Structure 1
Amino acid sequence: MKLDVTPLDDTGAVLTPHGRLTLTTAAHLRDAVTELVGAGRVRLVVDLGALEFVDSSGLGALVAGLRTARAGGGDLRLANASEQVATVLRLTNLDRVLRVHDDAATAFVDG
């Protein structure tokens, strides 16, 4: 999995995973979130538009990222979920925990 990181401002960033977020790639996302939060970027958006598939380990990495961001005083939100990923989030009720937005630009409009 390729992971692009784009700074938003001094405290935010967009992470864009490409391909599959699975057992073999989830640690890469967790590590990136930990590094960003450690650098003071605590307002994170994971843009799921380039993600083809997510499994339970990938979902676990997203939840771990949320915990890490909140522990750092911020938040992690999701954006641009494909139908497959949105369905998985709904079936697991994680859409109630991880806020999903239409796109990364509007994910933190409410603060």
Structure 2
Amino acid sequence: MDLKIDKQQNDREIFVNLAGEIDAFTAPKLREELLQLSEGQKVIINLKDVSYLDSTGLGVFVGLFKQLEKTNGELHLLELSDRLKRLFELTGLSHVMKISAN
């Protein structure tokens, strides 16, 4: 399956809607798209339509979080399914990232 990435930006926030699977095949494209986001911004990523996420995908979010943290930006993950939320909890990422179930 493919991954659809839809980005919208205003002066202070970047909204990203993702749909599909984030795995070893799609994570490089996602990493490229996300890591070029403006520094110091608030990045809000909606994961409502993400059906699968593996460790490669988790690595993308960790890298983005670290990049934004260095530049006083913020990363917010929204509308995670119970399975995705649990995955972030198991890795300890839910304690450092702003994650909302809906």
Q: TM-score range by the shorter chain?
A: 0.7 to 0.9
Q: Which is strand-richer, 1 or 2?
A: 2
Q: Post-superposition, which runs of at least 4 consecutive aligned residues in structure 1 deviate over 6 A?
A: none
Whether contact under 8 Å (1:13, 1:41) holds in the other structure is: no
User: Over aligned residues, Cα RMSD in angstroms?
Assistant: 1.6
CA distance in 2, matches of 1:27, 1:94: 20
1:13 — aligned with what?
Answer: 14
CA distance in 1, matches of 2:31, 2:69: 14
CA distance in 1, matches of 2:46, 2:64: 13
| Unpaired segments ≥5 residues, structure 1 | 104-111
- CA-CA distance at 1:75 after TM superposition: 1.2
| Unpaired segments ≥5 residues, structure 2 | none
Q: What TM-score results when the alignment is normalised by the length of structure 2?
A: 0.86
- CA-CA distance at 1:43 after TM superposition: 0.8
CA distance in 2, matches of 1:57, 1:14: 22
- Paired residues, what number? 100
SS at match of 1:49: strand
Q: What TM-score results when the alignment is normalised by the length of structure 1?
A: 0.80
Letter in 2 for 1:90: E
